[in-house]
């Protein structure tokens, strides 16, 4: 009986295939978003920085960005990936340290390219001990 039921379903056209939308209906659903609007492919993820070392470039997305100081006045920020390195730290508004794996950290005083606002630190071609950092970190928690 089971075989005849399955055969009956196949013969009557019952299937799990998706419904096909006629072309005229699908074209009516086109997006009216402006061409220059941000999309997933051209908008960086939050707390993502690009690191360039000796011509090699990699993006790092920090899962945490811990801030200290009065709320809205960053005195210290440290970005970590799942509570371990790589990590990126800014303190005293001009000292930057980048630690990747077991390598010696890249660190130094920065005079250009570092911008600190109420809850965000932005790196614009910040050079620290041979590493160049671009991107933004936003506080995820305050101490």
pLDDT of residue 44: 59
The number of distinct structural domains making up the chain is 1
Within-domain flag for 67: yes
Using alpha carbons, list the distances in angstroms from residue 95 to 19, 71, 118.
59, 20, 18
Using alpha carbons, list the distances in angstroms from residue 4 to 11, 15, 23, 136.
10, 16, 36, 63
User: For residue 142, is the peptide bond before it cis, meaning its omega torsion is within 30 degrees of 0?
Assistant: no
pLDDT in tens, 71-88: 778 999 999 998 888 999
Residue-number span of the structural domain to which 59 is assigned: 48-142
Q: Which residues contact 16 (CB under 8 A, 6 or more apart)?
A: none
Does the pLDDT value for residue 96 go beyond 50? yes
pLDDT in tens, 11-68: 444 444 444 444 444 444 444 444 444 444 555 577 999 999 999 999 999 999 999 9
Within-domain flag for 135: yes
Within-domain flag for 83: yes
Higher pLDDT, 133 or 92: 133
Within-domain flag for 10: no
Within-domain flag for 41: no
pTM: 0.68
Within-domain flag for 76: yes
User: Which of helix, strand or coil describes residue 24?
Assistant: helix
């Amino acid at each position: 009986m089971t075989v005849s039921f399955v055969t009956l379903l196949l013969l009557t056209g019952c299937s799990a295939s998706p419904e096909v939308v006629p072309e005229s209906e699908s074209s009516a659903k086109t997006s009216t978003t402006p061409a220059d609007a941000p999309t997933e492919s051209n908008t960086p993820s939050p707390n993502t920085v690009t690191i360039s070392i000796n011509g090699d470039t990699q993006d790092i997305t920090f899962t945490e960005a811990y801030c200290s100081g009065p709320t809205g006045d960053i005195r210290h920020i440290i970005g970590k990936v799942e509570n371990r390195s790589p990590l990126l730290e800014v303190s005293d508004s001009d000292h930057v340290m980048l630690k990747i794996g077991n390598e010696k950290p890249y660190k130094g005083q920065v005079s250009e390219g570092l911008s600190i606002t109420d809850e965000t630190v932005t790196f614009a071609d910040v050079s620290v001990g041979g590493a160049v950092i671009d991107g933004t970190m936003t506080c995820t928690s305050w101490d």
